[in-house]
Amino acid sequence: MRVISSFMKLGRFSLSANFPINVSHGNWRLARAVWGIKGYGTDSDSSRPISRYPVPYKKDLPYDIVELMEEVEKKSGFLPNVFKVLAHRPSEFRAFFAYYDVIMNKETGNLTKADRELIIVATSASNKCPYCVTAHSALHRIYSKQRTLADQVVLNPDLADLSKRQRAMLEFALAIAKPENITESQFQKLEEHGFDREDAWDIAMVTGFFALANRIAHLTDLRPNEEFYTLGRIPREKSNEK
């Protein structure tokens, strides 16, 4: 799976560089939550489960899933809770992340990684999904280097500081998300801003896939990792070493 590539960027925002917390304590808290003790992972609400479904123990999981989870955690500095929760059903875990790879790590077309994350933020906000909004707002901040745009889109996309291109993209995505009958005029508006028919398909696939993810998050009561809240907000500490 290539899913790891989407999370490698998180590795540049390691706990030691970005979070004013005790790293050893944080790592223990994370390890405790990952492998079967279902803590939300915050000091204020550590007893709240990350899912209403059981989180399997590492020893009970297939090797390929353990290998992927360990690689993501190593590269990112933490393991996003979606991996832990979907491990409840290994076959669905594999199918979910295989399709995630196809649509999110695509190297053709006119959608940037930041574009894809902004689509997820806008449509997940429309679907009232706290996990996807929180996680993908963090990824958007990292890819775009913009600290406030995702927050603006969550609150009110009509008033957000979007470019005309971004606005056309999100209007199309939100039409797909509602859902609406898609008209030729909507395709034409996209084309006016540099998106072709294949890009329209990509926008729709990202929207559709994360509508599924939103529903899974609602079903499981999937809780965001605390790390997502500050990723891309706190400047990385500069080393004094020469």
Number of residues that make up the chain: 242
What percent of the chain has pLDDT above 70? Answer: 77
The CATH number of 4-105, from 3.30.420.40, 3.10.129.10, 3.30.360.10, 1.20.5.810, is 1.20.5.810
Q: What is the pLDDT of residue 10?
A: 65
First to last CA, the chain: 37
SS3 118: helix
Q: What is the pLDDT of residue 11?
A: 58
Q: What is the DSSP string of 138-199?
A: HHHHHHH--SSHHHHHHH-TTTS---HHHHHHHHHHHHHHTT----HHHHHHHHHTT--HHH
Rounded to 5°, the CA angle 5-6-8 comes to 60
Q: In the chain, where are the structural domains located?
A: 4-105, 113-220
pLDDT above 50 for 22? no
Residue-wise pLDDT for 157-216, tens only, equals: 999 999 999 999 999 999 999 988 999 999 999 999 999 999 999 999 999 999 999 999
CATH 1.10.10.10 fits 113-220, yes or no: no
Average pLDDT over residues 92-118: 97
Q: What is the mean pLDDT of the chain?
A: 85
pLDDT above 70 for 21? no
Q: Which residues contact 117 (CB under 8 A, 6 or more apart)?
A: 136, 137, 139, 140, 143, 144, 150
pTM of the model: 0.82
pLDDT above 80 for 39? no
DSSP 160: S
Average pLDDT over residues 54-65: 96
What is the C-alpha separation between 173 and 23, in angstroms, rounded? Answer: 39
Amino acid at 221: D
Residue-wise pLDDT for 4-18, tens only, equals: 666 656 655 543 333
Average pLDDT over residues 131-150: 97
pLDDT above 80 for 217? yes
